Structure 1
Amino acid sequence: MEAVGNDTKIGSYSYPFADLADERTRNWPLVESPWNVPTLLALYFLMVHYGPKWIARYKPLQLRVPLFSHSLAMAFLNAHICLELFTASRKLGYSFSCQPCRVSYSPQEMRLAAAFWWFYISKILEFADTAFFILRQKWNQLSFLHVYHHSTMFVFCWIFIKWMPTGSVYVPTMINSFVHIVMYSYYALSVLGPRVQKFLWWKRYLTGLQLVQFTVVFFWALQVVIQGCEYGTWITLIGAAYMLPFLFMFGRFYVQKYMVYPAAKKSL
């Protein structure tokens, strides 16, 4: 390995801070090369840009079986991630408020790293949500909020699995995976037809749960920074700031969807 300042060459890849990459996960699939992120993001943005133009020439597709299968698989995957993170962190005696990332090859530490790798992979699989919106021509759901959320979460997850795959990252990951269990369960049930859809009155509370998630993670990240936890203070501060646009955009969506629109409808 050859290092010059903060630039390190690993294999054929040269990029800033590569020498700080966690040695346990740096060679895992879709982690080592820095080109994974821009390549997958470019393909995603090309799909978002050109997909609607292409599918507009055809009738919307139903895709009930693929949508149900994908949503159910994602719900189970997130359940696995959440359970692995909870079980391993409890066995390790991890602190909820501050847990430094230590390079350890103990079975439970590697179990945590593997769970977070699957979480990173799940963010790639979530790009299929956008594809389903496009193919079904659900233009109201193909919003800036949706595209921003999916693309930026993927980048953040690559940073964490590359540099800090254990430690305090288990907290927001576990919370997010739990929310996604609920969310993808809703998606799976929503395609089963009117007989099931009438029981999905709790969609409003799903958006509320997402707002609670962003609020909890925001204040959790702040306390990590304030107490000077050894776990990546700089990236935790960025993570706290990252929650603010989501609080604003999801909050605005909630108000417009469940407060302003119903009130306007009643006044007609």
Structure 2
Amino acid sequence: MASAWKTILSVNQYLEDNGDKRTDPWLLVYSPIPVVVIIIMYLIMVWAGPRLMKHRDPIDLRKVLIPYNLAMVGLSVYMFHEFLATSWLSNYSLRCQPVDYSDTPLPMRMARVCWWFFFSKVIELSDTLIFILRKKNNQLTFLHVFHHATMVLNWWFAIKYTAGGQSFFVGMLNSLVHSVMYTYYGLAAIGPHMHKYLWWKSYLTCLQLFQFVLVLIHTSYNLLVQCDFPVITNVAVFLYTIFLIILFGNFYRRSYLDKRKQK
């Protein structure tokens, strides 16, 4: 036990000491401990929340949902603009883009939007709490919980070690997709009379899958060429994206294709 604890402390010290010195002072970045605690608390909430709500009435959160989703649309649009504008002004390459660790204006601007993207993943854990309070337990799927929890951890590593470079492509695409997604959620929160205008829900899942395919192509290319960007990061993104394509593809099949066959 003492040996295992010593190993954990050693790994933690290594992670703390070998990150991007520009981002170390920023909220939740320097040490992995706060992020790990957040993820553990999130998983406890997923387990305990439905049990605590079992004999309670669902809570009407419409007055919260509309401004929350509107704020998430605004944040997503802002991040998409910052990723796009900064990469454009910096002449980023889609084929190979190393991280610029200098503290000049454009690299710092890119690092800041990477941090906002990481922090947005922490905020998005609220989506799960909203499902629990509204007793939408059918939404608490493995896909939902896995995706929300792992994105926080994945982007902690990104902001800690690779705040820029190839990372911008994933953040830019995902911000665009989430601006559409939270627009859908915001319209749905207005009330049942809006549902007739939300016929495009299945296309939202298609958009998410298309995003993953683009990320897979982008990452695959960077695994095949010589590029001064951490190979382990590209490998992790590649494998993670394949897993998400499988999960989202299965969700699309069960939610739309199988139901059409039944009809």
TM-score, normalising length from structure 2?
0.93
How many residues end up aligned between the 2 structures? 256
Query: 1:18 Cα shift?
Result: 3.5
Kindly, what percent of the aligned residue pairs are identical?
A: 38
Q: What runs of 5+ residues in structure 1 fail to find an aligned partner?
A: 1-6
**1:81-230, aligned counterparts within 5 Å?**
81-230=79-228
Tell me, what secondary structure is at the counterpart of 1:15? helix
What letter is aligned with 2:190?
Answer: L
Are 1:255 and 2:253 an aligned pair? Answer: yes
**1:45-56, aligned counterparts within 5 Å?**
45-56=43-54
What is the CA–CA distance in structure 1 between the aligned matches of 2:237 and 2:38, rounded to whole Å? Answer: 22
1:234 is aligned to 232
2:4 is aligned to none
Tell me, what secondary structure is at the counterpart of 1:167? coil
What letter is aligned with 1:33?
Answer: S
Q: Is the 8 A contact 2:98 2:229 kept in 1?
A: yes
More helix by share: 2
Query: 1:161 Cα shift?
Result: 0.3
Question: Of the candidates 29, 34, 37, which is equivalent to residue 36 of structure 1?
Answer: 34
The 10-residue stretch of structure 1 (140-149 or 61-70) with the greater mean CA deviation from structure 2: 61-70
What is the CA–CA distance in structure 1 between the aligned matches of 2:12 and 2:135, rounded to whole Å? Answer: 41
Query: 1:135 Cα shift?
Result: 0.5
Tell me, what secondary structure is at the counterpart of 1:102? coil
Q: Is the 8 A contact 2:15 2:31 kept in 1?
A: no
Q: What runs of 5+ residues in structure 2 fail to find an aligned partner?
A: 1-6
What is the CA–CA distance in structure 2 between the aligned matches of 1:18 and 1:29, rounded to whole Å? Answer: 14
Instruction: For CA contacts below 8 A with separation 6 or more, give which structure has more relative contact order.
Output: 2
Q: Is the 8 A contact 1:99 1:229 kept in 2?
A: yes
What is the CA–CA distance in structure 2 between the aligned matches of 1:19 and 1:31, rounded to whole Å? Answer: 12
Q: Is the 8 A contact 1:15 1:34 kept in 2?
A: no
What is the CA–CA distance in structure 2 between the aligned matches of 1:201 and 1:106, rounded to whole Å? Answer: 46
What is the CA–CA distance in structure 1 between the aligned matches of 2:145 and 2:12, rounded to whole Å? Answer: 29
What is the CA–CA distance in structure 1 between the aligned matches of 2:95 and 2:173, rounded to whole Å? Answer: 14
TM-score, normalising length from structure 1?
0.92
What is the CA–CA distance in structure 2 between the aligned matches of 1:47 and 1:18, rounded to whole Å? Answer: 27
What is the CA–CA distance in structure 2 between the aligned matches of 1:62 and 1:87, rounded to whole Å? Answer: 39
More strand by share: 1
Query: 1:262 Cα shift?
Result: 1.9
What is the CA–CA distance in structure 2 between the aligned matches of 1:95 and 1:158, rounded to whole Å? Answer: 23
Query: 1:257 Cα shift?
Result: 1.3
Query: 1:106 Cα shift?
Result: 1.4
1:64 is aligned to 62
